[in-house]
C-alpha cells in the first residue's frame, strides 16, 4: 500500500492563542478550524527555540539547538546534518519546498529535491549577534518599535508579494504532482511569512475585523518582569521609544488580518488536494515556527520562553488521523519521528536515523496513548549573554539562565505566567529538581563558549566577504525550465495540451 502524501503548511510567528481554532473570540481561522474538526489538535506544542532559524533548523533535524549549532538567525545549518527531507527521501518520498525555511549557508536544499522559491531572508552571516557586547543595541536588522508605528493597510508589501508567490507555486506544484508520472508519495512544504510583523495587511483582510473589536493585552508593571523580559524590552526599544494603546490595537488588527490571510491559503491548498483527488491520501500538518508576544508583558515578537512566544499551533488531519484534542506537551523536535511514522505506518524505518531527540506523536494522532508529556527548549541568540534553557513537564515550566533568577510557572493554573513559583516554599522540591536537571542536562559554560566561538568566526567571514566584490551569494535561485514549459517546437501541440490536462476526478462535485 502506498504511503500517504504529506502537505506541511507553516506560518511565521503565529501563536495558537490568536486563532479561533484554539479559542480566540475575535480571530477567524475557519480553514484551520475545519482541519481540527476532522483531525487532531495538539494543545501544548512548543517550538524548541523561539526564533525563526533555530526553530526551523531544530524542527527539520529533530535535534536541539546545542547539538547542531543552530544558535541564532545567522547560524549555518551544516550540510552534514540530516533533516526530515532526507529521512523521507530514504522512505521513497518526493520532497518539495516552497517558501521560507531561513537556511543559512551554501546548502539551500537540505534534502529537498526541489525548492520552488527563494527565501525571504538572506542566507549569509550578516545577522550574527555579539555576546561580547550583549547589552549593546543592535541596529539595521534588529527589531524595534517601527512595526507598530507602521502597522495598517497596504495594497502590497514585500511580505504579501512573497506569500502570493509561495501560495501560487505550491498550488501549481500540487497540480503538477497530480498529473505527472512519478508515483512516489510527496512531502510538500508550504512555508508562509505571515502573520510576522510589520503587521500590514491588504484591505480585504483588514476589513474583516472591526477595529474596536480588537482586544488588548492585560496590563503588567514593567518593573515586575523577569530579567530576560526586561532585556527584550530594552533591545526592541519598548522601554525607551515605547508604544501606545492605539498602536497596540492597530498592530494586533494587522496581525489578526494576516492570520486570516494565511488561513485563506491553507484553505486554498486543501481545496487543491480535494479537486485533484489527493485529499484522501494526504496527511495535512499545520504549524508555525514560534509565536508572537503581541504586547503581553509589554513585549513584542518572540525570543522568550513565555507562552505566546514559544507555543505553536499543531494540527494534523488525513488518513489514519482520529478526531481529538491532545493535552500532552509536545514540540517541533517530535515532528521528524512523527513524519517517519506517517511514512512507514508506524513500522520500522528503512534507515536507522541517528540522534533524534523527540518522540513520535503518531500514536497520539491515531487514537493511542502516550505516557510522556514534556519537552525542552534552548535559546542562544540576541538579548542574552548566556544560554537560556526551558523544561516543560506536565503543567510546570522551568526557565533557567545563569545570569537570571530562575522561573517556574504552573501554566495550567496561571496561563499568563504572572506568578513565579521558583521561590514559593510549597514548590521548593520541584524547583530544586528542575535546577538539578538543568545542571545535569546542559553545560551552560561550555555551550556559551561554543556560541561565542561561532559568533567570532561568522563575524570575521562576513566582514571579509562584505569587502570583496564578486562573492557568490548563497541565496537560493529557483530553477525555471522555460525551454520545456507550455508549448515548444520540439513538442506536438496536441500532445502538450493533453499531457498537461488534469481531469475532474470521478464523482467530484464543486
Q: What is the DSSP letter of 471?
A: P
Pairing of strands 324-331, 40-46: parallel
Measured between alpha carbons, how far is 102 from 96 in angstroms, rounded to an integer?
Answer: 15
Determine the 3-state secondary structure of 117 from DSSP: coil
> Which is it for the CA torsion 357, 447, 312, 126, positive or negative?
negative
Helix, strand, coil percent content, the chain, rounded in steps of 5:
40, 15, 45
Residues 6+ apart with CB under 8 A from 345: 3, 320
Return the H-helix or E-strand segment holding 326. Answer: strand 324-331
Phi, psi for 211 (deg, rounded to 5):
-60, -40
**Cell numbers for 409:** 510557572
Residues 6+ apart with CB under 8 A from 62: 84, 333, 334, 335, 336, 337, 353, 356, 357, 358
Measured between alpha carbons, how far is 237 from 231 in angstroms, rounded to an integer?
Answer: 10
**Cell numbers for 201:** 495587511
Residues 6+ apart with CB under 8 A from 436: none
- As annotated, the active-site residues are 52, 102
Phi, psi for 197 (deg, rounded to 5):
-55, 155
Amino acid at each position: 500500500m502506498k504511503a500517504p502524501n504529506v502537505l506541511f503548511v507553516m506560518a511565521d510567528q503565529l501563536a495558537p492563542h490568536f486563532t479561533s481554532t484554539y479559542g480566540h473570540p475575535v480571530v477567524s481561522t475557519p480553514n484551520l478550524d475545519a482541519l481540527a474538526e476532522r483531525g487532531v489538535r495538539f494543545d501544548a506544542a512548543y517550538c524548541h527555540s523561539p526564533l525563526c532559524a533555530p526553530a526551523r533548523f531544530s524542527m527539520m533535524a529533530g535535534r536541539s539547538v546545542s547539538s547542531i549549532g543552530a544558535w541564532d538567525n545567522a547560524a549555518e545549518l551544516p550540510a552534514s546534518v540530516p533533516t526530515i527531507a532526507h529521512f523521507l527521501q530514504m522512505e521513497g518520498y518526493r520532497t518539495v519546498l516552497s517558501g521560507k525555511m531561513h537556511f543559512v549557508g551554501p546548502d539551500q536544499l537540505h534534502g529537498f529535491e526541489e525548492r520552488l522559491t527563494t527565501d525571504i531572508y538572506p542566507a549569509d552571516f550578516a545577522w550574527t549577534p555579539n555576546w561580547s557586547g550583549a547589552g549593546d543595541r543592535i541596529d539595521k536588522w534588529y527589531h524595534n518599535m517601527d512595526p507598530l508605528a507602521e502597522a495598517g493597510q497596504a495594497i502590497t508589501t514585500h511580505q504579501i508579494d512573497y506569500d502570493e508567490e509561495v501560495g501560487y507555486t505550491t498550488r501549481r506544484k500540487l497540480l503538477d504532482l497530480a498529473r505527472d508520472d512519478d508515483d512516489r508519495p510527496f512531502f510538500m512544504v508550504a512555508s508562509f511569512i505571515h502573520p510576522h510583523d510589520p503587521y500590514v495587511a491588504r484591505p480585504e483582510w483588514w476589513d474583516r475585523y472591526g477595529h474596536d473589536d480588537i482586544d488588548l493585552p492585560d496590563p503588567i508593571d514593567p518593573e515586575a518582569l523577569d530579567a530576560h523580559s526586561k532585556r527584550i524590552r530594552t533591545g526592541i526599544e519598548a522601554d525607551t521609544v515605547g508604544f501606545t494603546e492605539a498602536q497596540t490595537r492597530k498592530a494586533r488588527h494587522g496581525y489578526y488580518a494576516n492570520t486570516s490571510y494565511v488561513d485563506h491559503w491553507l484553505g486554498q491548498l486543501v481545496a487543491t488536494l480535494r479537486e485533484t483527488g489527493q485529499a484522501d491520501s494526504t496527511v495535512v500538518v499545520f504549524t508555525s515556527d514560534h509565536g508572537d508576544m503581541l504586547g503581553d508583558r509589554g513585549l513584542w515578537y518572540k525570543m522568550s520562553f513565555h507562552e505566546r512566544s514559544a507555543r505553536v499551533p499543531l494540527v494534523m488531519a488525513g488518513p489514519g488521523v482520529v478526531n481529538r484534542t491532545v493535552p500532552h506537551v509536545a514540540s517541533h523536535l517530535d515532528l521528524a519521528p512523527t513524519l517517519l511514522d506517517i511514512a512507514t505506518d508506524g513500522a520500522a524505518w528503512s534507515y536507522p536515523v541517528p540522534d533524534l531527540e523527540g518522540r513520535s506523536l503518531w500514536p497520539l494522532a491515531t487514537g493511542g496513548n502516550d505516557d510522556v508529556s514534556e519537552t525542552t527548549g534552548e535559546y542562544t541568540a540576541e538579548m542574552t549573554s548566556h544560554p537560556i534553557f526551558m523544561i516543560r513537564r506536565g503543567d510546570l515550566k522551568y526557565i533557567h539562565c545563569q545570569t537570571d533568577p530562575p522561573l517556574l510557572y504552573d501554566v495550567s493554573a496561571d496561563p499568563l505566567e504572572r506568578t513565579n513559583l521558583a521561590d514559593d516554599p510549597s514548590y521548593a522540591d520541584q524547583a530544586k529538581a528542575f535546577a538539578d536537571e538543568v545542571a545535569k542536562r546542559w553545560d551552560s559554560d561550555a555551550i556559551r563558549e561554543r556560541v561565542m566561538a561561532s559568533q567570532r568566526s561568522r563575524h570575521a567571514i562576513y566582514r571579509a566577504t562584505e569587502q570583496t566584490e564578486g562573492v557568490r551569494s548563497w541565496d537560493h535561485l529557483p530553477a525555471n525550465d522555460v525551454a520545456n514549459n507550455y508549448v515548444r517546437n520540439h513538442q506536438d501541440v496536441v500532445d502538450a495540451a493533453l499531457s498537461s490536462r488534469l481531469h475532474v476526478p470521478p464523482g467530484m462535485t464543486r
